[in-house]
Amino acid sequence: MAGAADLHGPLLEQTGAFGGNALLLTGPARVGKLAVAWAVAAQHNCTGPKGMYGEACGACHSCRALAAGGHPDVLLVEPRATTTTGKAARRKLIPIGAVLSGRDKTREYETHVFEFLEVRPTFARRVVIVSGAEYLGPEAANALLKLVEEPPHRALFVFLAEDLRSVLPTIVSRSARLSVTPATDRAVESALGRAGHTPDPELVAFAAGRAGVLDDPQKVGAALSDARDLTDALGDGLLAALQAAEALEKRFDPGWHPEALRFVWRTLPPHQRARADTALTALQEGLEAYASPSLSFQVFALALRDALGHA
């Protein structure tokens, strides 16, 4: 939604002039690391006039290809978090098969890093974005290091991680490190306005400067509304609480609803907030363990009523 230059312009001034082989972008979840990485890829392949921060023009053939999601010189590598049954797995991992096709026994990855880099760039520079560098397995990291040290055709690696301490030291030592920090509330409000959205104070507060929250403000707003509805229903009686939990089950998004619930609970007394958080953690663990969703949400509603003193 919001462009990286809107919220992280000064950072792009540094990345645009970067001539090394690898960047490591660190920062909290949803702060906008991936948006910055895409902006870096655009910078290094843009053929038009750059903006005030050195950001890509957005109008040349390369920029249009990137916006359409089919840029030939950019590869995104992400950890796999699904099992062979299609259900969410507890442990994320970027395996060696993401790097070498011969090691991708189950064909999880359509494009592999080594083969991708063998081809000369269509525009200026091939860019490999590794989202979740902390999930690189040792074999995959070692294979990547050989490419990072001597990248074919001047390729650029952009590693993303929430916690620098979780990234293998060999990756850290070979990368230029940059921190992606939260933007100001005013910048978030301006970005929402430019995208045609009303700068809702609750959404701005929930975002806390994290650009990733602005990618889908309608979805975030719906999660916040669902969180308020459930919390309000807890005091209206057991039947209302169970009905609200059933409604939440139908719309539950593990990417947004847990954080929305914790945000709504932020004004509760500490002891109630702690007990509510314990109930939410139990719900998440139950869903990850493939427990009955309907039963899990019913138990969740009962635990919340007890946590908030409505039992």
* DSSP element (H, E) containing 116: helix 113-118
> Is the confidence at residue 240, as pLDDT, over 70?
yes
Same domain, 246 and 111: no
* DSSP element (H, E) containing 3: none
21: which residues sit within 8 A by CB, 6+ positions away?
A: 148, 149, 151, 155, 156, 157, 174
pLDDT digits (tens, 9 = 90+) for 156-176: 999 999 989 999 999 999 999
Q: Which two tokens stand for residue 1?
A: 């939604």
Mean pLDDT on 8-23: 90
- pTM of structure: 0.84
CA atoms of 56 and 41, how far apart (whole Å): 9
CA atoms of 68 and 2, how far apart (whole Å): 16
Q: Which two tokens stand for residue 310?
A: 């409505």
How would you classify residue 49: left for phi > 0, otherwise alpha for psi between -120 and 50, otherwise beta?
Answer: beta
Report pLDDT for 211: 84
Q: Which two tokens stand for residue 150?
A: 């001597």
* DSSP element (H, E) containing 55: none
Query: Is 167 within 8 Å of 134 (Cβ atoms)?
Result: yes
Same domain, 165 and 75: yes
User: Is 54 inside a domain boundary?
Assistant: yes
> Is the confidence at residue 119, as pLDDT, over 80?
yes
Q: How far is CA 253 from CA 12, 25, 250, 267, 283, in A?
A: 32, 27, 9, 23, 13
> Is the confidence at residue 99, as pLDDT, over 60?
yes
What phi, psi does 128 have (nearest 5°)? -110, 115
Chain position carrying tokens 């509510």: 276
Owning domain of residue 252? 217-307
Same domain, 245 and 99: no
* Residue 167 burial (CB count, 10 A): 23
Least confident of 2-6, 29-33, 80-84, 140-144: 80-84
Number of domains in the chain: 2
Report pLDDT for 81: 66
Report pLDDT for 89: 46
CA atoms of 256 and 243, how far apart (whole Å): 20
Query: Is 31 within 8 Å of 163 (Cβ atoms)?
Result: no
User: Is 65 inside a domain boundary?
Assistant: yes
110: which residues sit within 8 A by CB, 6+ positions away?
A: none
Same domain, 160 and 27: yes
User: Is 179 inside a domain boundary?
Assistant: yes
Which CATH number goes with the domain that contains 26? 3.40.50.300
| Pick from 96, 113, 104: nearest CA to 152 | 113
Same domain, 164 and 236: no
| 8-state DSSP, 166 | G
pLDDT digits (tens, 9 = 90+) for 40-53: 999 999 999 999 88
- Strand-strand pairing, 127-131 and 156-161: parallel
pLDDT category, 85, cuts 50, 70, 90? very low
pLDDT category, 2, cuts 50, 70, 90? very low
Residue 296 is which amino acid?
S
User: Is 208 inside a domain boundary?
Assistant: no
Radius of gyration of the chain from Cα atoms? 22
User: Is 259 inside a domain boundary?
Assistant: yes
User: Is 40 inside a domain boundary?
Assistant: yes
Report pLDDT for 191: 83
* Residue 75 burial (CB count, 10 A): 21
Pairwise pLDDT comparison (180 vs 215), residue with the higher score: 180
* Residue 109 burial (CB count, 10 A): 19
Beta strands in the chain (DSSP E): 22-26, 74-77, 80-82, 88-93, 127-131, 156-161, 176-179
Q: Show the CA angle centred on residue 44, arms to residues 41 and 49, nearest 5°.
A: 115
> Is the confidence at residue 116, as pLDDT, over 80?
yes
Mean pLDDT on 25-39: 93
Mean pLDDT across the chain, nearest whole number? Answer: 90
Same domain, 118 and 257: no
Same domain, 58 and 106: yes
Same domain, 222 and 158: no
> Is the confidence at residue 84, as pLDDT, over 50?
no
| Last-in-domain residue among 186, 208, 227 | 186
Same domain, 225 and 182: no
Same domain, 142 and 227: no
pLDDT digits (tens, 9 = 90+) for 297-310: 999 999 999 999 98
pLDDT digits (tens, 9 = 90+) for 191-228: 888 877 887 899 999 999 998 888 888 999 999 999 99
User: Is 16 inside a domain boundary?
Assistant: yes
Report pLDDT for 3: 61
User: Is 198 inside a domain boundary?
Assistant: no
Same domain, 119 and 238: no
Same domain, 222 and 124: no
Report pLDDT for 88: 45
